[in-house]
Structure formats: structure tokens, C-alpha cells
Amino acid sequence: MKVFVLGESRTGTTSVHEYLVRSGLKSVHYFVPQSGVAEPIHKHRAANWKKVKAFIENSGYDAFSDYPTRLFHRELTSSFPDAFYILTVRRDFAKWRASMNAIMGEEQEDFNLLQAYYLCYNEEIRSNCVDLGLRFLELTIEDDADSNARILSDFLGRDYNGPLLRLNTSEELALLR
């Protein structure tokens, strides 16, 4: 069983990762360092994909969330058509933008470019998974924690094990500053 969480950072990927662990899956979150990819990831795309794929196949993990999964969603869906794909999103762009600003500590300069990227890439992931008929779930992190957990459990065929905890929130980050 392979699970790929394709949401952008600050959309609940940490929360879903923790839920996957509680569900008995061996899960890794933000595995850029462990996979050995070269930065910037997009400039070394072919070589980085080979490293990411080798890590997925040989790491012993069942679930992979946050980067670099999002960047390689097309390669993942082609190489792992039997996997489960989860797109985590925020209710609206303003909520995601505020969360990004909280972690980066400043207002993003190019709001229009950031919004276009976020919305366009989410639509590309959504369309790709649906067009290929893959096991795909879109999960809005602001929705009810208990409902989200039940939706995740049903989607993955796992036992329900409590609500989806909200981890790594903007409020928590503000307390650390």
C-alpha cells in the first residue's frame, strides 16, 4: 500500500501525516533531505525523480507527504497507479496565504503569481488523478476534524482512530516566535 499526500505546504500535510502514522502506516513527511534530491528541485528534475522513486521503493515507508511528492505528482501517478492520492487544500486561497505568511514571517511579494501557482497546480493534480481514474481524495483541512478522520479512514480502508488533529498551525508558529 502506498499513499501520497500531494497538498502544498500549510494545507494540513503534517496533520494527515500524523493521522497516517496513528492508522498504522509507516509515513514520512517532507523527505527532501532523506531522498537526496538536489536543490532547486525543479532544475534537476530528471535526476531528482530517479532519487525520489528509488527512495519510495526502498525506504520501507508506506506514505509520503509534503515535498517532494507534490512536485512529482505526474511521475507518481504513472509509476504507482494503484496508490492512494490525497490532495490537501485550504478552504480558500486567503486562508492558505495567511498561513504561508505566518511561517515565512512576511507578506509574499507577488500575490497574483502565488495564487495562480497554488490554484493551477491543485487543479492539475485534481484533473490528473480523476482523468486517470485513480484512488483520489481531496480533503479540506478546515472541515470538521472528526468528519475528516472518518473520510480518511474510509478512503484508506483503515479503522477510525480519532479525529484528525490540527498540527503545525499558524497559531502554534506564532507562539514560537
Tens-digit pLDDT profile for residues 38-88: 988 888 999 999 999 999 999 999 999 999 999 999 999 999 999 999 999
Mean residue pLDDT of the chain comes to 89
Q: Return the CATH fold of 3-176.
A: Rossmann fold (3.40.50)
Cβ burial 54-89 (10 Å sphere, 16+ → b, else e)? ebbeeeebbbbbbbbbbbbbebbbeebeebbbbbbb
Q: What are phi and psi of 157, to 5 degrees?
A: 70, 35
Residues 61, 54: Cα–Cα separation, whole Å: 12
What is the per-residue pLDDT for 169? Answer: 56
What is the per-residue pLDDT for 114? Answer: 78
Residues for the chain: how many in total? 177
Task: Summarize pLDDT for 94-112 with one digit per residue, the tens.
Answer: 877 777 777 666 665 677 7
Residues 14, 142: Cα–Cα separation, whole Å: 14
pTM: 0.89
